[in-house]
Amino acid sequence: MLSAYTSDQIRTAEAALMAKLPDGTLMDRAATGLATVCAALLGGVYGSRVVLLVGSGDNGGDALFAGARLAARGARVDAVLAGTRVHEAGLAALRRAGGRVLDVREAGDDGRERARTLIKRADLVMDGLLGIGGAGALREPYSTLAELTHETDRPLVVAVDVPSGVDASTGRVEGEAVRADYTVTFGACKAGLLVSPGARHTGRIEFVDIGLGPYTPEPAVTALTDADVAAMLPRPDTTSDKYRRGVVGVAAGSHGYTGAAVLAVGGAVRSGAGMVRYAGVAEPVAQVRARWPEAVITELAPGEGVGEVGRVQAWVLGPGLGTGAESLEIARTVLASDVPVLLDADALTLAARDRSLLRRTAPVLVTPHAGELSRLLDVPRERIEADPLDHVRRAVDELGVTVLLKGSTTLVARDGLPVRVNLTGSPWLATAGTGDVLAGIAGTLLAAGLDAYDAASCAAHLHGLAGADGPVSAWDVLEAVQGVVRSLLEPGFRSK
């Protein structure tokens, strides 16, 4: 499992470690690791062109010392100084190794043009403008230098610890931020590297061990690996039958949205449910019956609830359900049950109108995107997208439920536990119907006995793997789920 931390947590751990080491040891470890990664990325160091973007803090010192090591191996290294002060020992080391220096504050507009030229001609740019203490919008000249890393003909960009302009604790980005191809992070991963919008600026993460391990606290954010998910997934044994494996109830679909029911039921079937009981009105019933003959189907009369559907271990409620009076009656009867309930799509709209629907003793998992969460919290969507980590925690506190927040970074949050970030998937999953499939997968895992936090986390991981190679439709994701589950349960299996 990957663990990530806030800036305050990292600073506390660094302080504890530095108290036991000679001065400069941590910076030397960081700079050595940074130079090693950059040398590997360059392939051949001798004759390469490296530009350092250097700010006032310790990240600037890391970049200068790393640059000195590359210069000593034959690279042409130019340091672009942007801060009001500079790490003097690092600057001296760079100059001794033959590095060159451009102070853009002293050189004014001409200096910024010279910096632009240096960056365009470089093989690698090292971003040491701001470190984990940076917050808020970048000021000049930092902002202009960060903007240069966006250009299409830019060189390879390596961020030192965190891309400048990205809040290391939250992933928040206000204004310009460096767009890195690689981020070399020291000691432990920073939460903001994993969470959008910061994650979109991070590139590939490379770790440099500086000895923080024994001093790190409980993480603020975690991410599951394939091995973690494989260990959590339910496996049938010789005592299993369809009931022990988990019966999922699906209340979804309406006269206008029949496909949502088909996809949600399919997500449950393909991810390994022991049985799926589907309840809906006539039109989606016909579609589900035609596509999933293994589902046990109950056709509901107008205004009828799910009381006669039969026993289930978990419910999936909401995809394509509608938001009228008949849909509300279905929702009320589902939520009156004593089993876990997943609320998605239209069920979230109903809950936004009446939060009392969420007040129940059995577990509740909600799976909103930013727009749906904005209605649940009465917060503008833009604020949620700018800082999803903060808002998913707020949703847990205010709603008293487990939350799976869908988006460019999918987050899973539960009271008292680290927020989980899903690292699988791709932007191709942002297409109609994929959320219905995700709901069905999560419902299967809930019915199999996983708690809402683990069920949501594992479902997001599986869903992401199933939709990682785009372009994809929701049906493509649905068809890939079975192979993804098998690949994790059976080492060596490779789905076609």
Residue ranges at the known binding site for AMP: 406-410, 435
Q: How far apart are CA 94 and CA 69, in angstroms?
A: 8
Q: Binding site for K(+), residues? A: 59, 127, 164
Q: Binding site for (6S)-NADPHX, residues? A: 58-62, 131-137, 142, 161, 260, 320, 369, 436
Residue located via tokens 């596509």: 291
Q: Which residues contact 442 (CB under 8 A, 6 or more apart)?
A: 316, 342, 365, 367, 404, 455, 456, 459, 460
Could you give the C-alpha distances from 473 to 246, 345, 408, 431, 459, in angstroms and in order? Answer: 27, 18, 17, 7, 18
Among residues 328, 365, 360, 334, the alpha carbon closest in space to that of 346 is found at 328
CB-based contact 148:134 (threshold 8 Å) = no
Enter the tokens of residue 261. 């029911």
Helix (H) and strand (E) counts in the chain:
18, 19
CA neighbours within 13 Å on the CB side: how many for 285? Answer: 11
Among residues 447, 423, 432, the alpha carbon closest in space to that of 478 is found at 432
Q: How far apart are CA 181 and CA 202, in angstroms?
A: 7
Among residues 422, 125, 443, the alpha carbon closest in space to that of 274 is found at 443
CA neighbours within 13 Å on the CB side: how many for 190? Answer: 33
Q: Binding site, residues? A: 58-62, 127, 131-137, 142, 161, 164, 260, 320, 369, 406-410, 435-436
Angle between helices 434-447 and 452-466 (to 10 degrees): 140
